[in-house]
Amino acid sequence: MNKKAIISCIIIVLAIIALFYINSINKADAEIPLINYNLQQGNKNYNEITDNINQQKYQEASDKINNTMTYYENARYSTQKALNKTIKENDSILTEYFKHTTEEIDLKIQSLEEIQKGIGDVNSNNLQSSKEHFKKSNQLIQNTSQYTIERNNLEKQHLDKFIS
């Protein structure tokens, strides 16, 4: 009888631990490290792309675009998952945070698309059009700063949401 009671207690404790673990994995803020990693890698690559363009190394810039796009799309996917979770959890702070993150990522993706068009125009000797695409790309990337600022402000104002 004691063995059955001990085994039952162990099973109950393990079930409770598993429940807490599963709940923590399913929380929206669990996505933040993955989002940040993909954003950081995408930003690093993006900076290398712009350096290559400034040095007129268009092929090298072009070679990095797909990899960079993958990082941003992964960040976008994780952000959307987290946003959906925060909406279900009625967490207005994290919902706002992830909406800003989504808007920032979308602008970065659009900026990359403009760079890609610009490089295509360089390759077809349409230099005026390429300059317009590069200019638009620059404007889009500059617009991302507003969302970064908003996210940083939310992090500062609600430390409890972002420090685990």
Average pLDDT over residues 6-16: 56
Instruction: Please state whether the predicted TM-score (pTM) of the whole model is above 0.85.
Output: no
Number of domains within the chain: 1
* pLDDT for residue 3 is more than 60: yes
- Is position 6 within any domain? no
User: Is position 148 within any domain?
Assistant: yes
Q: Tell me which residue range forms the domain holding 83.
A: 29-162
118 and 71 in contact (C-beta within 8 Å)? no
